Amino acid sequence: MSMTLPPKTPSGGRDPAAISGWAQHPDRVGFFTDTSICIGCKACEVACKEWNEVPDDGLNWLGQSYDHTGELGADTWRHVQFIEQRKRPGTADEGLDAPLIEHVPLAQLGREEGFRWLMSSDVCKHCTSAACLDVCPTGALFRTEFGTVVVQADICNGCGYCVPACPFGVIDQRRGDGRVWKCTLCYDRLKGGFEPACAQACPTNSIQFGPLDELKVRANRRVRQLHEQGFTDARLYGADPDDGVGGLGAFFLLMDEPEVYRLPPDPVVPTRDLPAMWGAAAKAATALAVATVAAFMAGRR
Amino acid sequence: MSTTEERSVAATNADGSERRRSAGRALVPDVEVRTYYDRSVLKRPTWKHWIAEYFFLGGLSAGSSLLAFGASRTGRRALARRSRLVALAAVGGGGAALVADLGRPERFANMLRVAKVTSPMSVGSWVLAAYGPATGVAAAADVLGVFPRLGAAAEGVAAALAPVVATYTAVLVADTSVPAWHGARGELPYLFAASAGASAGAAALALTPVAENGPARCWAVAGALGEVAASTIMERRLGELAEPYHTGRAGILSKAASACALAGAAVGLLRGRRRRGAIISGALVAAGSLLERFAVLEAGRQSAADPKYVVKPQRERLDATRPSESE
């Protein structure tokens, strides 16, 4: 239950497996996706599909640069994004809001004019306070011993509650199947002592897998390094254990604001307000009961 | 190159391009929200029309159980019997609608596999599992004329659970990331309670002889007015997030719901003591309640579909708290 956040570990992280009934459990693991070194090869998308036998999600021309996948969903568990910006890499804000990129053929864009291509491999965030897991009425969604969030396909009855609950728009119902699907952080591979397929396939180490505490140390070092090199817009997303979802199990190094990457700028788990919501419902329910008495008292006259 | 003035005029995409949608449709006025190719941050709810129908039928059943309880305690036998039967039929139909909406209907029993207080749907499933059979026993005992004490006890259980059945659905939709629902978490329970009362009053008003329809008339009129008042207050408090309730299909549904509710209340007040007036009033108020449920469902879909409703409030919240670094 995430109405109360799991207590912090000595290293400053949070341990959701411990409050989910795992007395003995391995370190919490996750992803650090360093988008500054993503080259957009989509090896992660392919490796994920292959390993997890995720069905195809259509061959579409979306007009989103080299992104023909669209967004995360029931049949897309890793998604590589392509963002084209008229901006010299390493400069702060110059030329950010330049006119439509389509007006200028890509080949004519000289380096001095400024052009940068942001690429990022998006994935389920495996939240510390996971809304999907909180609202699931069947227990199909559960917290693993690794601190990740996984759907049990043999339990899910397709009620769809987790879909609008997720603040990141990740989990979705699969058409023709009825159940919901999302990244499992390769639960089966973790059990066998392997790293997730996407991380193993990533040729630049943009996707790093490991114990979350270690990844955060590495990520902070990387941000400092980028700032020193003049890439002042580098920042971490989801690394703060005190944010609205208690921090993410899959966090990111971004080169622009989160919303540019289809990430909510300040996500909050909706169940955080659950006690207040039941309070409001209790008052409304009482009003309805009082109205019953009133109607029969009034009707008596 | 562009300046901040240009920036405030047009919403921009991640790549700096103007948002095409703002030119084509009036849905998105000029606000500065940066997005990934205009894609929604959230997934649209997968719930189909069944869910709006369940919200209506669950409310109708809950309200009818309360009316049945009051009627049997005050000796209105015709009102009591009709309300008991409506309560049973509505909860049966509502349950069927819930199962029909599942992606895997044959697994509906998994709803009772665990009990979770963090899931309003789990709480609701358990409440319904007690409430449904209670309405069945109450109605059966009455119609068959057997086990009067058991029937009365079942009626008491149904009436005790009814206020929960009528309002938990509001918590269910509010406990999501959908801006138009989560933002209305303080008001939706009142809207759903009023809607439940209105529909139950309406059904009883249309079905009960004039001699016993006093309380039903009272509920239909008060419920319909309460529903309009609650939705008005909700939209006022939502501020910018009220837009999904005004625009598109949700806007049409919402206006139709208010029109039906107000017309039904007026007919109920003026002609509710006559049979024909009671039937017309009941039909209008019930239609208003049903349309309101569809309006809420559609407004949620619309607010989830547009990234503006997610990004803008969060960006403003973040920018407001950023200097202090405390939140």
Which token pair is B173?
Answer: 């939709």
Is A137–B190 a contact, with Cβ atoms under 8 angstroms apart?
no
Is B37–A64 a contact, with Cβ atoms under 8 angstroms apart?
yes
pLDDT of residue B16: 45
In terms of residue numbers, what domain contains A301?
Answer: 274-301
Tens-digit pLDDT profile for residues B33-69? 899 999 999 999 999 999 999 999 999 999 999 999 9
CA distance A193 to chain B (A): 31
Residues A218 and A278 grouped into a single domain? no
Measure the CA–CA gap between B223 and A234, rounded to whole angstroms: 55
For B61-98, b/e burial (b = at least 16 CB within 10 A) is bbbbbbbbbbbbbbebeebbbbbbbbbbbbbebbbebb
Tens-digit pLDDT profile for residues B247-265? 999 999 999 999 999 999 9
pLDDT of residue A108: 52
Is A262–B71 a contact, with Cβ atoms under 8 angstroms apart?
no
Q: Indicate the number of domains in chain B.
A: 1
A178 closest CB neighbour out of B12, B104, B117: B104
| pLDDT-derived band at A297, boundaries 50, 70, 90 | confident
Residues of A in contact with B17 (CB under 8 A): 99-102
Which token pair is B119?
Answer: 């899931």
Sign of CA dihedral A266, A267, A269, A273: positive
Residues of B in contact with A274 (CB under 8 A): 118, 120, 171, 175
Is A285–B186 a contact, with Cβ atoms under 8 angstroms apart?
no
Of A71, A118, A281, whose CA–CA distance to B59 is shortest? A281
Q: Indicate the number of domains in chain A.
A: 2
Could you tell me if residue A1 is inside a domain? no
B36 closest CB neighbour out of A156, A261, A285: A261
Could you tell me if residue B20 is inside a domain? no
CA angle B138, B141, B143 (to 5 degrees): 105
Q: Cα-flanking dihedrals φ and ψ of residue B280, to 5°?
A: -65, -45
Tens-digit pLDDT profile for residues B265-308? 999 999 999 999 999 999 999 999 999 999 999 999 999 999 99
- The mean pLDDT of chain A is 90
- Cβ neighbours for A230, distance < 8 A, ≥ 6 positions apart: A90, A91
Which token pair is A76?
Answer: 């897309």
Best mutation target among A240, A277, A290, A297 (most B Cβ atoms within 10 Å) is A277
Residue recorded with tokens 């005790």: B160
Could you tell me if residue B30 is inside a domain? no
Q: Give the CATH number, domain containing residue A122.
A: 3.30.70.20
Measure the CA–CA gap between A46 and B105, rounded to whole angstroms: 32
pLDDT of residue B321: 81
- Cβ neighbours for A126, distance < 8 A, ≥ 6 positions apart: A30, A147, A148, A149, A183, A185, A248, A249, A250
Determine contact: B234 vs chain A, CB below 8 A.
Answer: no
Residues A242 and A295 grouped into a single domain? no
Is B314–A70 a contact, with Cβ atoms under 8 angstroms apart?
no
Amino acid making up residue A176: G
Determine contact: B244 vs chain A, CB below 8 A.
Answer: no
A157 closest CB neighbour out of B107, B159, B166: B107
Residues A99 and A208 grouped into a single domain? yes
Could you tell me if residue A3 is inside a domain? no
Q: First CA to last CA across chain B, in angstroms?
A: 36
Could you tell me if residue B288 is inside a domain? yes
Residues A194 and A244 grouped into a single domain? yes
Determine contact: B175 vs chain A, CB below 8 A.
Answer: yes
In terms of residue numbers, what domain contains B246?
Answer: 49-308
Residues A147 and A197 grouped into a single domain? yes
Q: Is the pLDDT of residue B115 over 90?
A: yes
Residues A264 and A289 grouped into a single domain? no
Measure the CA–CA gap between A189 and A144, rounded to whole angstroms: 13
Tens-digit pLDDT profile for residues B9-28? 334 444 444 444 433 344 44
- The mean pLDDT of chain B is 91
Residue recorded with tokens 């719930």: B47
Residues A186 and A291 grouped into a single domain? no
Check residue A65 and give left, alpha or beta (phi > 0: left; psi -120 to 50: alpha): left
Mean pLDDT of A15-40: 94
Global ipTM: 0.91
Measure the CA–CA gap between B71 and B63, rounded to whole angstroms: 12
Q: Is the pLDDT of residue B7 over 60?
A: no
Residues A214 and A255 grouped into a single domain? yes
Could you tell me if residue B19 is inside a domain? no
Residues A76 and A97 grouped into a single domain? yes
Q: Give the CATH number, domain containing residue B173.
A: 1.20.1630.10
Is B103–A160 a contact, with Cβ atoms under 8 angstroms apart?
yes
Mean pLDDT of A246-257: 97
Measure the CA–CA gap between A115 and A88, rounded to whole angstroms: 5
B-chain residue closest to A131, CA distance: B176
Could you tell me if residue B10 is inside a domain? no
Residues of A in contact with B164 (CB under 8 A): 281, 285
Interface list for B 184-213 with A (CB within 8 A): 185-190, 192-193, 196-197, 201
CA distance A140 to chain B (A): 9
Measure the CA–CA gap between A126 and A215, rounded to whole angstroms: 15
Is A270–B175 a contact, with Cβ atoms under 8 angstroms apart?
yes
Mean pLDDT of B100-106: 97
Is A157–B185 a contact, with Cβ atoms under 8 angstroms apart?
no
A-chain residue closest to B14, CA distance: A260
> Cβ(B314)–Cβ(B179) under 8 Å?
no
Of B302, B291, B288, B286, whose CA–CA distance to B238 is shortest? B302
CA distance B288 to chain A (A): 18
Interface list for B 254-293 with A (CB within 8 A): none
| pLDDT-derived band at B32, boundaries 50, 70, 90 | confident
Tens-digit pLDDT profile for residues A83-113? 998 776 655 444 444 444 444 444 555 455 5
Residues A168 and A301 grouped into a single domain? no
Residues A222 and A291 grouped into a single domain? no
Residues of A in contact with B304 (CB under 8 A): 164
Could you tell me if residue A6 is inside a domain? no
Cα distances (Å, whole numbers) of residue A176 to A179, B39, B104: 9, 24, 10
Interface list for B 150-169 with A (CB within 8 A): 159, 162-164, 166-168
Look at chain A and count its residues.
301
B177 closest CB neighbour out of A3, A96, A164: A164
Is B177–A134 a contact, with Cβ atoms under 8 angstroms apart?
no
Residues A196 and A246 grouped into a single domain? yes
Best mutation target among A119, A127, A288 (most B Cβ atoms within 10 Å) is A288
Residues of A in contact with B177 (CB under 8 A): 131, 164-167, 267, 270
CA distance B208 to chain A (A): 14
